[in-house]
């Protein structure tokens, strides 16, 4: 059990550092006004006589390239979750300007007390303060200074760890 926790903590710490850098790089590329995507500036006409192209039945539409890149770093997260959180980054940046000191708290639920304990231990090993809410739920929180993508990276890191432990990520709360 110790080895499992140690490996989990090491993976989480390594992934957190690498993932934060990648997410920041992706967000910086997306916020660069000098880089214009040719596809976005291309005009496409749809004829009323022709049916609109739709994904094949039962097949999900392809995810955006940024979502696919982030999904490589966080294999336990769905593309939908990644895209939803990525869409919130501009609001995070506006509401919590760079170098704001925030406290972010994540809540998770697990099937067993042992998995909940693994989650709180991994969180504490990575600088979070853990609080056990009941036999299946816990929160972890930490203070951090914001920069573009830091809140997003934190959400991805923690929710990926929760999913890795087969838990349910119930959400987050951010306070100044």
Tell me: the pLDDT tens digits for 13-71? 444 444 444 454 455 555 544 444 444 444 444 334 444 444 444 445 578 999 999 99
Residue 111 has pLDDT above 70, yes or no: yes
Lowest mean pLDDT among 36-40, 45-49, 80-84, 117-121: 45-49
Enter the tokens of residue 35. 């880089």
The Cα–Cα gap between 74 and 23 comes to 11
Show the DSSP H helices in the chain as ranges: 2-30, 38-41, 65-73, 79-86, 89-95, 113-125, 150-164
Other C-beta atoms closer than 10 Å to the C-beta of 147 total 17
User: What pLDDT shows up at residue 61?
Assistant: 58
Nearest Cα neighbor of 109 from 70, 79, 131, 139 is 139
Q: Which residue has the higher pLDDT, 19 or 144?
A: 144
Find where tokens 């951090």 sit. Answer: 144
Average pLDDT over residues 104-119: 97
By the 10 Å C-beta count (0-12 exposed, 13-18 middle, 19+ buried), 52 is classed as: exposed
Q: How far apart are CA 20 and CA 15, in angstroms?
A: 8
Whether residue 171 has pLDDT greater than 60? yes
pTM to 2 decimals? Answer: 0.68
Q: Which residue has the tokens 């710490």?
A: 13
Helical axes 2-30 vs 65-73, angle rounded to 10°: 160
Q: How far apart are CA 85 and CA 102, in angstroms?
A: 18
- All domains in the chain, ordered by first residue: 64-176 (3.30.70.970)
Q: What number of CA atoms fall less than 13 Å from residue 39's CA on the CB side?
A: 1
Average pLDDT, the chain: 78
């Amino acid at each position: 059990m110790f080895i499992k926790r140690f490996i989990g903590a090491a993976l989480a710490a390594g992934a957190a550092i690498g993932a934060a850098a990648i997410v920041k790089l992706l967000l910086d590329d997306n916020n660069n006004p000098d880089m214009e995507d040719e596809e976005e500036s291309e005009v496409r006409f749809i004829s009323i006589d022709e049916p609109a192209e739709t994904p094949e039945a039962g097949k999900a539409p392809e995810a955006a390239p940024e979502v696919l890149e982030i999904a490589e770093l966080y294999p336990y997260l769905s593309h939908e979750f990644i895209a939803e959180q990525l869409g919130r980054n501009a609001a995070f940046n506006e509401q919590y300007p760079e170098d704001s000191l925030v406290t972010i708290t994540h809540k998770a639920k697990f099937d067993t007390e042992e998995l909940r304990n693994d989650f709180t231990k991994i969180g504490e090993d990575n600088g979070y303060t853990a609080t056990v809410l009941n036999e299946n739920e816990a929160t972890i929180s930490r203070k951090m200074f914001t920069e573009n993508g830091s809140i997003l990276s934190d959400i991805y890191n923690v929710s990926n760890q929760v999913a890795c432990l087969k838990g349910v990520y119930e959400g987050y709360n951010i306070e100044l």
